[in-house]
Amino acid sequence: MPRYLSLVRIDENNAPAEGPSPELMQRMGELIEEMTKAGVLLETAGLTPTAQGTRVHYEGGAISVTDGPFTETKEAVGGYAIMQCKDTAEALEWTKRFLKVHEDKWTVTCEVREIMEG
């Protein structure tokens, strides 16, 4: 069965300052448990803010290193999930369910891509 990577993108400037509510975390935990029991979720994690990140860029034979935060970035990858699904449609259905556990004050975008094997 193919594996899929869901990149969870958020706008750090517009995310709720208090972070996820306890209710959101409970719904998220329940969904993660369901996905794990279904054999779909292989791995998931949130990422630290871009202020704690570093970018390493390669161009024209030269490498540059820039410490965060990256103020020019509108959306940052805030987390990820690796899923094993029968097809893209199933991966998208699980991703939609993930997005629906969020409250209306959140703006979240997931980019779902199949992982190339071999």
pLDDT, mean of each 10-residue run, the chain (118 residues): 96 85 96 97 94 95 93 86 98 97 93 94
For the segment 44-62, what is each residue's pLDDT rounded down to a tens digit? Answer: 999 998 899 999 999 999 9
Between CA 90 and CA 53 the distance in angstroms is 32
pLDDT of the residue at 111: 97
pLDDT of the residue at 59: 97
Domains and CATH numbers, the chain: 3-114 (3.30.70.1060)
For the segment 12-25, what is each residue's pLDDT rounded down to a tens digit? Answer: 888 888 889 999 99
